[in-house]
């Protein structure tokens, strides 16, 4: 098998790397310290075509697929783990999901604005008491005849307080459990029944806006339903299987930045008259980091390639997300060890890399959930899709 990138993919990789170095890195320390999100960067990403992957050209697609999106996300996360999130909010999450399940009118109305950055996207699944157990969510949508009424609360939602149009999952019939969930396309702005608030007490991803959404008798139009009433769980699982690959790509970037930082410091720092990279224990740490990073890359790229071929990939996607996330956290921890006391300083990237990496074990399905999915398919209890 040939694992090289095409000339077009290399060009996309170079464009993303150049963007991260020139547009994100110069203000990164200041932005991290002040938890600053720069909306203008999202528009610049859109102008470069970052959000058009795996979408038809008539809705703003660029002819690229999931693999190209992975390549972009990896390069952005190499500089800042926060900078990968717009790919999920504008492209891999809402846009691709609406393209799969939406009506022609919904596709024409929403996808071009997400792709162009004219509208900030989001998707709201998690709640204060509902995480991995999605069906236990308490948010409800009630048919009031001429509109739907939303009630409930969503938590840890990216772009919650900044988002325009996005996807909200709610129970329309709790007695039906999995068959009682429905997905809605919702506008968070200008609705007196919707209140949003930022969450700023986060360990990492300081430049990625996160918040909560409260619905109190919020009225949304009848044509807000995505797909069919009761199809929400299927839509949710489809979406998560896609956004997971973006998370795995982010893990590649964060893990890659940890490897790069550790190697650079090991070649620079001297102790006992020799650079610390000449000591076997440091070499062993770096060797494991490099090997695990390269293995993660193969898994992530394979899963993305399978998606682009329209082949079953849930098994491979969960393996990629699990392995890449855990490898990134391990690499970040080892990088802190190699940096020693300087790892604690915000003057060096080690502490930020570690903080950002810790989110990877949770977002888009925890590591334990990925193990459950992998084991279920491996044991033959569930079909790979």
Residues known to be catalytic: 364
Nearest to 233 by CA among 154, 158, 134, 142: 134
Nearest CA among 131, 69, 17 for reference residue 307: 69
Pick the closest to residue 237 from 45, 360, 376 (CA basis): 376
Q: 176-203: string of b/e by CB count within 10 Å (b at 16+)?
A: eeebbbbbbbbbbeeeeebebeeeeeee
- d(C-alpha 271, C-alpha 64), whole Å: 48
Please count the other Cβ atoms lying within 10 Å of the Cβ belonging to residue 349.
25
The span from the CA of 286 to the CA of 283, in Å, is 5
Which residues are within 8 A (CB) of 294 and not within 5 positions of it... i.e. 6 or more apart? Answer: none
Distance, in Å, from the CA atom of 208 to the CA atom of 103, rounded to the nearest integer, reads 31
Cβ-contact 142, 148 below 8 angstroms: yes
Cα–Cα distance measured from residue 27 to residue 46, given in angstroms and rounded to the nearest whole number: 20
Measured in degrees and rounded to the nearest 5, phi and psi for residue 245 equal: -70, -30
Query: In angstroms, rounded to a whole number, what is the distance separating the alpha carbons of residues 111 and 103?
Result: 11
């Amino acid at each position: 098998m040939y694992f090289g990138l095409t000339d077009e993919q290399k060009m996309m990789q170079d464009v993303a790397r150049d963007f991260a170095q020139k547009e994100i890195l110069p203000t990164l320390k200041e932005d991290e310290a002040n938890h600053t999100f720069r909306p203008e960067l999202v528009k610049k990403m859109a102008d470069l075509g970052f959000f058009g992957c795996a979408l038809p050209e008539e809705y703003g697609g660029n002819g690229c697929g999931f693999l190209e999106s992975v390549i972009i996300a990896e390069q952005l996360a190499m500089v800042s783990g926060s900078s990968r999130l717009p790919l999920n909010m504008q492209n891999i999450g809402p846009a691709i999901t609406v393209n799969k399940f939406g009506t022609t009118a919904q596709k024409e109305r929403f996808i071009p604005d997400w792709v162009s950055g004219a509208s900030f996207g989001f998707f709201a699944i998690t709640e204060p008491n509902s995480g991995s157990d999605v069906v236990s969510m308490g948010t409800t949508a009630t048919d009031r005849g001429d509109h739907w009424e939303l009630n409930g609360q969503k938590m840890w939602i990216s772009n919650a307080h900044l988002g325009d149009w996005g996807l909200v999952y709610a129970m329309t019939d709790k007695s039906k459990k999995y068959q009682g969930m429905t997905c809605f396309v919702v506008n968070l702005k200008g609705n007196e029944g919707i209140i949003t608030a930022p969450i700023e007490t986060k360990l990492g991803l300081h430049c990625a806006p996160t918040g909560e959404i409260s619905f109190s008798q919020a009225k949304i139009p009848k044509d807000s339903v995505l797909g069919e009433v009761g199809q929400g769980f299927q839509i949710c699982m489809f979406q998560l299987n896609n956004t997971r690959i973006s998370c795995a790509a982010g893990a590649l970037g964060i893990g890659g930045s940890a490897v790069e930082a550790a190697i650079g410091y090991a070649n620079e720092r001297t102790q006992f008259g020799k650079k610390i990279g000449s000591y076997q224990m440091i070499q062993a740490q770096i060797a494991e980091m490099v090997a695990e990073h390269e293995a993660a890359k193969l898994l992530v790229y394979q899963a993305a390639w399978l998606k682009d071929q329209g082949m079953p990939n849930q098994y491979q996607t969960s393996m990629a997300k699990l392995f890449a996330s855990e490898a990134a956290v391990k690499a970040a921890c080892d990088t802190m060890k190699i940096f020693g006391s300087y790892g604690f300083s915000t003057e060096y990237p080690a502490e930020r890399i570690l903080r950002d990496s810790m989110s990877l074990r949770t977002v888009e399905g925890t590591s334990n959930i990925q193990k459950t999915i992998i084991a279920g398919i491996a044991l033959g209890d569930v079909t790979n899709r």
